[in-house]
Structure 1
Amino acid sequence: MPKTSSSIISGLGCLLLSHSLAAETEHSPSHSEQVTQFKKVTVNATRVEQDVKEVNRPIVVIDKENLEERQPNSTADAVSREANVSVSGGAVPGNQKINIRGLQGDKVLQVIDGARSNTNFAHRPSYFLDPELLQSIEVLKGPSSSLWGSGAIGGVVVQNTIDAQDLIKEGEEIGGFVKQGYQDNGDIFTTTAGFGATFGQVDALVAGTYRDSDAMEQGNGNSLYGTESLNRTLLTKLGFNIDSHQRLQAQYRYADLDGHPPTVGSADDALNVKDNLIDREVKDTHAALDYSHKGSSDYLNFDAKIYYNETENRENNTFGGNDKSDVETLGINLLNRFDFGATTALVGIDGYHDDIRTGRAVNASNPSGNRPNPPSKAESDTWGIFTTLTHDITSSVQAEVGLRYDDFSTESKDINTSSDESELSASAGIRWQATDWMRWSLRYDEAFRAPNSYELYIQGTHFNYGAPGWDNNFVANPDLKPEKAENIELGVNLEFDHLLADDRLSITATAFKNDVEDFIYLDVITEADFGPPPACNCITGTSTHKNARDAELWGFEVETDYQVGAFNAAINYGQTRGTHKTTLATGTTKDALPDIPANKWTADVNYGFWDIDTKLGARVLHASRQDRVPDTRETYEGYTLTDLYATWEPSGAMLDGVKVDFSIANLFDKNYQVAWSEVSEPGRSTKISLKYSF
């Protein structure tokens, strides 16, 4: 870590802490601005709303306050500072993937307002929701199929959008906001507006964003041309409180993303040259109807959701043709919680149907059609039933067991073949409140991921070696088995009150070991395996998805948070290791697993100068050198980043409702590369936003 960064943070931390303690001494506790405020944080990642302190799973919550302070350009950007969470794909939101404890892509499930988002295409975007419309983001770490089914072997990213009630002040019937943001790196203008109203038993929300981005710059001054984009998002909700126990709500969400990303991945040589970019437009549509019945009985706490997602992806490829990758999802969730005194039972049914359509252009510039050919028409159906039982053994010991059964099938119309599988996913946990200040937890979780239609059925040309007919071709493998994970983890939470003043110190540590069987990987047989190009027009290499590796991932994360008065300091650290076993004729070897993030710690200190309605903060992230890589990969150098942020929210009547957020990301204009990303990240970015709430 550079001495300048260390000195700034150390000095700021000492200054703010001394100021806080002095304020505690000089002012009476009746001054509310000097009383330590501890917020109650609720989560939905466990399928029911709970206080995060009651959850026996590792969950990180980024609330609205944190989102506005960070001013992220995407959902992935918003979670990138968390322990054992990283982002690949560079600064192009359309290419970003969230990595949790070394697993990413299809191995991390995305959920928005309780509905699955099954939009992971190879080299195509999957996160479309503008973070300006989010009330919070939750990251559930580790396998979670007993709750969510297929895909959650690495974890779950839950995005919760804003509601009408979030915009309306207490005692009012209407409310809303308008917000204008600007970022100098990339000349990014973001306009957001929302309006909420209640009319008796009816409430309504209308909100939208408009984000216009130019080319960003890396720390070395090179342009990131692929970051140019125009994004528009609309969110509407209409709710009806049938009576004091029942509620019905309809939701519609639409996102239109027009960008110019690289053809494949995010390599520097693609993003720094305009001619290597393509035109891409994504239209993402979501509609849902929710019904809930709660509070009338201990045995009836019911939620039902039916939802529809459609993602249309259009690309003007480098051959001058138009490609399409579309997916439609129709899903239903049914859930009820039963309370039997010391025992709580959660019972649910999930079902969804995916309809996938793709097309790859063949034209005069590409007459041989040497393109990857994913299934032009494929369908999949999944049904799951699950239950989770929680029982208070004593006043300090709570046990939990869960079981889920999923049946899933996938069919390709191109090769007239199908795949049918079923899986059981179990979980068990125990939580022990050893003392008022110490809580232990021990968990075991199973998870699985069904292979997607690309992995099962993709054909066509993977790439060409530079000679006519000297191609590497995809070979379909409809016999792929699901990936299966078994995870065990031990956690401890320590909370101390009144250490120095009216303060609190919280420390949470978790150690985990995740074993993944039948790990799916792409087996590429290249020119190294068959020699120079032959003098014939024939296939000279293959690429096939296989279940050939068993992976082992292990590590730990530590998070600390200290609050006193208006001062807050938080530090988190994450470390993950991963290997996979490869069986050869000479025996079994263990090699480094790709996509394992570098060791990373983040420190964040802030102080509220409430006499001038201002909050100031600094954040430092340090990622270590990542040299635990396969023999064929280069190492990734470590880096240290410093961010500054400030919030001004005047309390006077003249400026009531005004809020200004200011931040400088990558203060020292560091040119750096996140492990497993092929592109350097943006350099210094100054951000400012003005929000008016009414």
Structure 2
Amino acid sequence: MSSTHVCAHTFHRAHLLSAAAIFLIPSFAAHANELPGKERESAASTRQAAIKKTPEQSSRNTSKQLGAHVKTGAAVPISSNAAERLVVTATRTPQQIQDVPASVSLITRQDIQMRQSSTISDALNRLPDVDMVGTARMEGQVPQIRGFAGREIILMVDGARRNWDSQGIEAPLYIDPAFIQSVEVVAGSASTLYGTGGLGGVMSIKTIDAKSLLKPGQGLGGEIDGGYQSANGNGKGSAKIYGKWGKFDALLAYSGQTFNSIRLGGGERLSPNDGQSHSALLKLGYDINDRIRIDFGQQFYLDENYRSSVPQKGPSTYHCSTCQEQNVRQDESTLHLTTRNEQGEEDGRLTLYRTKMASKQVPNSMDSNGGSTVLETYGFDLQKSYFRNFGLFGRHKFTGGVNYYRDFYTYTTSGSNTPNAQQQVYGVYGQDEIKFRHHVTLSPSLRYDRYNTFPEHGKGLSNSSNGAILPKITLSWQPTREWMIYLSWGKAYNAPTPAQSDMDLTGNQWFANFVSNKNLKPESAKTYEGGFTYTKSALFSEHDRASVRATGFYEDVTNLIQEVAIGRFNGKYGKNRPIYQYQNVGHATRYGIELHSNYDIGNWGFDLSFSHIRVTNARTGAGLYSPPDKVAADMRYRFPNIGLTLMYSLMAVDAQNYDATIIRRRPGYMVHDILATWAPPRKPWRINFAVTNLFDKEYSMYKMASTNVDFPEVGRSFRFDLSYRF
């Protein structure tokens, strides 16, 4: 390596460290205002008392406290209850986020509104070891956790699995951000509780409902919202109406967007990208009594776009002959039955769901017949929790359940030999959270999971099946109210999709050919993880709050499924075109760290996250797909008297220069955003304004594909949003 390269690499790492330091220094400036010990203990006791309240009580009390601050003009601690929010995905039972023994991140509706994103990628990309990669186009954005993507992670919306076929439908996240209430991301082994696909973790999205939007005492409400983004000419608007009548509540919402060619960093435009989207959401809820509730949800999303048939293609690889109208429709129906015990804690849930994603390509000059891919999923999830106190043998919270789903794949692409297929997956699991004396919690869990694949037709294809026993054990300790330390070990697996095992695509009219492989084994991983959380009010000052979550992990992954070139053929698009087959070829080791910290003092707020991961071939030591080191930092200030919040955001990504697939290596980059939201006290309207990619940085995200790697991301964009609530 030349001295010039060494200096450049060192300079960029110094930028990463400097960015982190900028957001840590202000927290120490408040040390002079330290509280006496008794006042600290009083503040800590108040916090613990608040934690014991139900979410509804906490919400009402928080609203009263904020109102008092506004009336008196006192400083409002930003995100004052951020560490006390309930999350359920990591253990399937509600817990305060700072008490969860896992790597958990939470995105709220307020976070999404602040960034005014037409997709949720802006918010997700700021989480440690989480990325939305693939393209500047929404249709090509694929989520990944710890470098795992596709069916290697579990994606759920309102408890319904969003499976998708990695060959036919690129992006699974067809949901309008206007409908999102929260996003929980659990990184690491998750198969014990959720089954196949839990190698990288779980991304669980919860949509809005009437209860989440109605203010205390409010019976009927609504909201109208409209906005614009300059980078892609994105105009958007939404309307919601919701109410509660006795035991019944309902919500009806609509959102629409239009978009055009995308201005990329540096000024180049990605064209064509002409389209629109329409989405609707219906939620109905009924409280049968104080302990039983039933909810119904129906979602609809339609995306219509004239673009390249491969959304990951950038301007340099764009050919007009590959452009055609693309229609994607996503439907989801869910039915939930929830029960609570005498203490008001949720102790049972039944979820029935149906999802359907259909991707259609309208014929063009290159493909006269066009084609479509449809993936329809039917499933259910049943779980029940039991609480028992056995004295010296601990307080037990046992959660057991069973879940099942069946995927139906239908392909109508002209000339394709990919067979239609079905795949069913079912599993049964149990978990026992045992709390002993001295604040020690032991949580063993076990699952049996099995899948069956049924191709409907093909060249000599037959049914296949396999299964796995998936144990996990977690040990946590809370030596004080502020600290939680944990260790865990677990197994995860991922079943091969019908497209991977059964695809038999032959013919010289294709860019590439595929050969089926019925001997594919499921991918499996053993994950060792440890970490801690620290949460403290009145750390340096009476009006401050600090929280830190740190995680380290090591994973041993076997039977990795990879696309391997096994031959060549001469075809319509040139000589020596590749013939691929999916094979179990890899044994990888993975290790990394994840850090997220938050510090609020008075009207100031600071957030800092960092992630580092390395993946190597266990046999050769060669570097495999490893997302680069990433720092995300936010600094914000609130003017409570006028309801104005200003925020500066930074994302710094180190160079990826260690991937053995050299073409995928990417230089590092920094992106700066400025954001503002103005919601005057006691006024029904809110204005958001932002400038993203402030300096119009031209950069390309590191991605798994080895083609179109130079695809630039979105350039400078001015964003404006106005909403009115009644």
In structure 2, distance between residues paired with 1:243 and 1:404 = 33
Indicate which of 436, 440, 455 corresponds to 1:397: 440
Residue 396 (structure 2) pairs with residue 343 (structure 1): yes
- Look up the match of 2:359: 313
C-alpha contact (below 8 Å) 1:95/1:123 kept by paired residues = no
The one-letter code of the counterpart of 1:176 is: G
C-alpha contact (below 8 Å) 1:20/1:565 kept by paired residues = no
Pair 31,410 (structure 1): closer, same or farther in 2 beyond 3 Å: same
Calculate the TM-score normalised by the size of structure 2: 0.85
Displacement of 1:523:
0.9
Pair 539,474 (structure 1): closer, same or farther in 2 beyond 3 Å: farther
The one-letter code of the counterpart of 1:89 is: G
- Look up the match of 1:358: 411
- Look up the match of 1:215: 261
- Look up the match of 1:497: 537
The one-letter code of the counterpart of 2:670 is: T
The one-letter code of the counterpart of 2:110 is: E
- Secondary structure of 2:166 counterpart: coil
- Look up the match of 2:684: 657
Pair 270,249 (structure 1): closer, same or farther in 2 beyond 3 Å: farther
In structure 2, distance between residues paired with 1:179 and 1:298 = 35
- Look up the match of 2:725: 693
In structure 2, distance between residues paired with 1:268 and 1:194 = 36
Indicate which of 461, 473, 479 corresponds to 2:506: 461
- Secondary structure of 2:621 counterpart: strand
The one-letter code of the counterpart of 1:105 is: G
Q: Which residues in structure 2 correspond to 1:37-52 (within 5 Å)?
A: 37-39=80-82, 40-46=84-90, 47-52=92-97
C-alpha contact (below 8 Å) 1:406/1:422 kept by paired residues = yes
Q: Which has the higher strand share?
A: 1
Indicate which of 518, 521, 529 corresponds to 2:562: 521
C-alpha contact (below 8 Å) 1:225/1:271 kept by paired residues = no
Q: What do the CA deviations read for 1:235-280 (whole angstroms, capped 9, x no partner)?
A: 1011111111111111111111112343335132467555443321
The one-letter code of the counterpart of 1:511 is: G
Displacement of 1:485:
1.1
Displacement of 1:438:
2.6
Q: Which residues in structure 2 correspond to 1:188-587 (within 5 Å)?
A: 188-225=234-271, 227-264=273-310, 266-269=312-315, 274-296=320-342, 301-316=347-362, 318-341=366-389, 342-361=395-414, 369=415, 373-375=417-419, 377-415=420-458, 416-461=461-506, 472-502=512-542, 503-527=544-568, 542-581=579-618
C-alpha contact (below 8 Å) 1:618/1:644 kept by paired residues = yes
Q: Which residues in structure 2 correspond to 1:47-86 (within 5 Å)?
A: 47-86=92-131
The one-letter code of the counterpart of 1:499 is: L
The one-letter code of the counterpart of 1:525 is: I
How many residue pairs get matched?
659
In structure 2, distance between residues paired with 1:80 and 1:11 = 20
Pair 472,292 (structure 1): closer, same or farther in 2 beyond 3 Å: closer
Pair 238,462 (structure 1): closer, same or farther in 2 beyond 3 Å: farther
In structure 2, distance between residues paired with 1:106 and 1:456 = 14
Displacement of 1:472:
4.9
The one-letter code of the counterpart of 2:200 is: G
- Secondary structure of 1:77 counterpart: helix
- Secondary structure of 2:249 counterpart: strand
> Which shows bigger deviation, 408-417 or 625-634?
625-634
- Look up the match of 1:681: 713
In structure 2, distance between residues paired with 1:11 and 1:625 = 21
In structure 1, distance between residues paired with 2:336 and 2:533 = 35
- Look up the match of 1:468: none
C-alpha contact (below 8 Å) 2:231/2:717 kept by paired residues = yes
C-alpha contact (below 8 Å) 2:30/2:540 kept by paired residues = no
Displacement of 1:592:
1.5
Displacement of 1:380:
1.2
- Secondary structure of 1:360 counterpart: coil
Indicate which of 176, 179, 190 corresponds to 1:144: 190
- Secondary structure of 2:199 counterpart: coil
In structure 2, distance between residues paired with 1:435 and 1:296 = 29
Q: What do the CA deviations read for 1:456-492 (whole angstroms, capped 9, x no partner)?
A: 1001138779xxxxx8531101121111111111102
Q: What do the CA deviations read for 1:206-233 (whole angstroms, capped 9, x no partner)?
A: 0121011111111121111254331111
Displacement of 1:44:
2.7
In structure 1, distance between residues paired with 2:423 and 2:110 = 39
C-alpha contact (below 8 Å) 2:287/2:294 kept by paired residues = yes
Calculate the TM-score normalised by the size of structure 1: 0.89
Pair 262,463 (structure 1): closer, same or farther in 2 beyond 3 Å: farther
In structure 1, distance between residues paired with 2:666 and 2:218 = 54
Q: What do the CA deviations read for 1:173-208 (whole angstroms, capped 9, x no partner)?
A: 111211001111111011011111111111111012
- Look up the match of 2:648: 618
Unaligned segments of structure 1, at least 5 residues: 362-368, 466-470, 582-587
Percentage of pairs with the same residue = 24
- Look up the match of 2:657: 627
